[in-house]
Structure 1
C-alpha cells in the first residue's frame, strides 16, 4: 500500500510540476507576444509621426517650386501695397493743397509718408508676379515641346521604371544632350551657309 501511495503522490507531484512549467511557459510566451505587439505599435506610431513630419516639408517644397502658388501668395501684398500707395498719395496731395492755400503752415518737424518708398514696393511686387508668370509660361511651353518631340514617358524615381518603354532620368539627360548638339550643329551650318552666300568684301 505505502509504495503505491508514494508512487501515486510522486506522479501527482510530477504532473503538478509539469502543469506549473507549462503555465509558466504559456505566461512567458504571452508576455513575449505582448512585448512584440507593443514594439510593433511603437514602430508604427514612429513611422506615422515621421510621415506626418515629412508632409509639411513636402508641402513647403511644392509651394516653393510652384510659380502659380507664388503668384497667388503675392496678390494679397500687392493689394495692400496699392492701397497704401494710394492713401499716401492722397495724404500728400491734401497736405500740399492746404499748404498752397495758406491754411496750414509748413511743419518741417512733421514726418510725411514716403510716397516713393511705397510706390517702389508696389512695383517690386509687380515685377515678382511678372517673373513668376513668365516662368510658369516657359514651363508650360517646355512641357508641351517635350510631349511633342519626346512623347516617351520619363521615370522620375531612381528605381527602374516598371514600364518597358519609359526612359530613366539618365537616358533622358543623354537624349537632351544629343538634341542640344543637333541644334548647335544646325545653327553652325546655317551660319556658315549665310557667310558663304553673302558677298565677300
Structure 2
C-alpha cells in the first residue's frame, strides 16, 4: 500500500506485506520475517524431544525470573499496606498468578518432552534386545541367514506377527488357567 500513488514503490516497500492488527490500522510485516517464522516452525517440528527441552530452558528461566520478581513486588506491596494500613496502589502490581501459570506451563512441556524421550529410548532398547538386527525397508528377500546384516522389512513383519501371536497364546493360557483355578475352589 503506497502512501503516495504517484511515486512508485521502492524495493523495501515492495518487500512488505500489510497485516491488520486487532487494535487498529494495518501493521507492515516484512515478507522475509514471515518466511523465517515459517522455517523456524518447520525446524521446531523436526527437532527431537531433547532439543525441544533445550529450547524451552531459556523461556523457563525468564518465566521463573518474572514469577519471583512479581511475587517479591506483591509481598513488598502487601507489607507496605499492612504496615501503613492503607492502600499503596496495589492495582499496579504485576500479575503473579499469570507468571506462575506460565512457569508451570513451561515445566509441563519439559516434563512431557522428557517422558516422551524416555519412552522412545525404552522402546529402542526393547527393539534392540528382542529384534535380531536392524530393519531395512529396501531389501525384499524372503529368507536371510542369521548373520547377514539388516533384516528385510517382510521378515521383520513376520517376526512381529509371531511375537504378537505368542503373546496372545500366553494370555489365553493364563486366562484359562485362572478360570480353572477359580472353578476348582
Same fold (TM over 0.5): yes
1:93-128 deviation digits (Å, cap 9, x = unpaired): 0011111111652547x3432211111111111111
Q: For residues 196 and 179 of structure 1, what CA distance do their matches in structure 2 show?
A: 26
> What is the RMSD of the two structures over their aligned residues, measured on CA atoms?
3.0
1:141-186 deviation digits (Å, cap 9, x = unpaired): 111111111122211xx53379954223344234323322322331
Q: Considering only CA atoms, is the larger Rg found in Structure 1 or Structure 2?
A: 1
Query: Which one has a larger percent helix, Structure 1 or Structure 2?
Result: 1
> Is the contact between residue 139 and residue 153 of structure 2 (CA under 8 Å) also seen in structure 1?
no
1:67 to 49, 72, 84: 49
> Is the contact between residue 68 and residue 133 of structure 1 (CA under 8 Å) also seen in structure 2?
yes
- 1:183 is matched with 167
> Is the contact between residue 77 and residue 88 of structure 2 (CA under 8 Å) also seen in structure 1?
no
Q: 1:194 to 1:160 in 2, by over 3 A?
A: same
> Is the contact between residue 161 and residue 167 of structure 1 (CA under 8 Å) also seen in structure 2?
no
> Is the contact between residue 81 and residue 121 of structure 1 (CA under 8 Å) also seen in structure 2?
yes
> Is the contact between residue 49 and residue 113 of structure 2 (CA under 8 Å) also seen in structure 1?
yes
- Give, in angstroms, the shift of residue 200 of structure 1: 6.7
TM-score (norm 2): 0.64
Unaligned runs of 5+ in 1: 1-55
Q: For residues 167 and 175 of structure 1, what CA distance do their matches in structure 2 show?
A: 10
Unaligned runs of 5+ in 2: 1-38
SS at 1:152's partner residue?
A: coil
- 1:123 is matched with 104
Q: For residues 199 and 161 of structure 1, what CA distance do their matches in structure 2 show?
A: 50
Q: For residues 60 and 173 of structure 1, what CA distance do their matches in structure 2 show?
A: 32
1:147 to 118, 125, 128: 128
- 2:70 is matched with 88
Q: How many residues align?
A: 141
- Give, in angstroms, the shift of residue 187 of structure 1: 2.0
Q: For residues 142 and 130 of structure 1, what CA distance do their matches in structure 2 show?
A: 18
